[in-house]
Amino acid sequence: MKKIVALLLSVLLVCAFCALAGSSIAAAETEELTPVTLTYSTLLGDDRPGVEGVRMLARKVNEKLGGEYLTVDIYGSNTLGTGATMLDDVLSGVTDIGHILVSSHTSRLPLCALFQTPGAATFLSTESANCAFTEYLQTLQPSELDGLVVLYTCANGPGAIVTNFEAHSMDDLKGRQIRCTATTADVLKAWGCNPITLEWSECYEAMRSHLIEGIYTNTGACADGTFDDIVDYLIYAPWYNDCEIYAISRERFDSLHPAMQQAILEAAAEVQDEFMLTLKDIAVNPFPNIVHFVQSIKGIIFFPQEEVDRMSDAIAATVAETKAGELDKKGINGSEALALIRELADRNNAIPGYDDSAYKEALFGLGANVLE
């Protein structure tokens, strides 16, 4: 399946961007090629796992071109542009390649944001979410991305509700003070929680001092923030899905030598398949911070399927379908896009190995206390 995804992405990108045909680059095509340095900006530290993707991209490009033709200078921790301005930073040339968080640009990327809207679909694994997001963008070709050449993407897939109390149903969450963002407040309301909007930087102290009882987020964020000393439980949350886009501006891409363009597109498809597809899957990539986190907390909880369905139904209409309807009124076909998201989720969740079984097995293998 991974090889099929890579081939499909490569073919579509090559066709879409009029790159040179074929999978190899002849020596004659590189005769006038001169070395190029591209900048890469991310809000994360330059030692974070996602940065390896752009390093891999540069290595693969140089292998294809047969020399050191591409260098990528990495700027982490908002040192070149910021996460909040990354879309404009790429389009304006502040940075060449940008790590664009869809959640930071929801008004500018409405169809991308719809994909990650809770209630749009439930994704059982990182692989399922990643494959679906890739195909979603390929199918829709949303005009909101017209100024960009998308190199590869990442969809986190299942997130987490981390708490200092044990819960096994939606009823156990009712009345609890749960941190959220402005875009997920309605989700928690639909589940009967008391949503508390806080900046991420304030969450640790709020949990430590018991001002809040839980956070609706993702496992990696808590692990990176060493939340294991203030969190007791992690509830597996297939309704949560953050999407990321790694892109270069169309203008900057078009300024590159055709052989460099082709090499970048081919390398990007391989990075998607070999690295980004499973980046957030602890069964494949048990990063030390994740391992420490899941081993340190009291338990990881998987709700019964009937509770998952109940919570999905509670937010399907009140959140996702409402959002799709708002897009329809603006002349953006949100309802059609939402139907596509659900179709892709069903298809990819059904692929062997793309359900939550590998995740559970990995947790057991790491010695985590899994509660069902």
Residue 189's pLDDT is 96
Would the pLDDT of 44 be above 90? no
Comparing 26-35, 64-73, 152-161, 274-283, the range with the smallest average pLDDT is: 26-35
Give me the mean pLDDT over the 68-79 stretch: 96
Would the pLDDT of 2 be above 70? no
Would the pLDDT of 298 be above 50? yes
Residue 348's pLDDT is 96
pLDDT tier for residue 335 given thresholds of 50, 70 and 90 = very high
pLDDT tier for residue 320 given thresholds of 50, 70 and 90 = very high
Per-residue pLDDT of 213-243, as tens digits, reads 999 998 888 988 889 999 999 999 999 999 9
Domain ranges of the chain: 2-157+243-278, 159-240+287-371
pLDDT tier for residue 133 given thresholds of 50, 70 and 90 = very high
Higher pLDDT: 81 or 336? It is 336
Per-residue pLDDT of 341-363, as tens digits, reads 999 999 999 999 898 888 888 89
Task: Please name which of 223, 237, 216, 231 lies closest in space to residue 366, comparing C-alpha atoms.
Answer: 223
Would the pLDDT of 3 be above 60? no
Overall fold of domain 2-157+243-278: D-Maltodextrin-Binding Protein; domain 2 (3.40.190)
Q: Look up the CATH architecture of domain 159-240+287-371.
A: 3-Layer(aba) Sandwich (3.40)
What percentage of the chain exceeds 70 in pLDDT?
Answer: 93
The chain-wide mean pLDDT, for the chain, equals 90
Whole-number Å distance between alpha carbons of 55 and 302 = 35
Higher pLDDT: 142 or 21? It is 142
Domains 2-157+243-278 and 159-240+287-371 share a fold: yes
Higher pLDDT: 10 or 107? It is 107
pLDDT tier for residue 29 given thresholds of 50, 70 and 90 = confident
Residue 224's pLDDT is 84
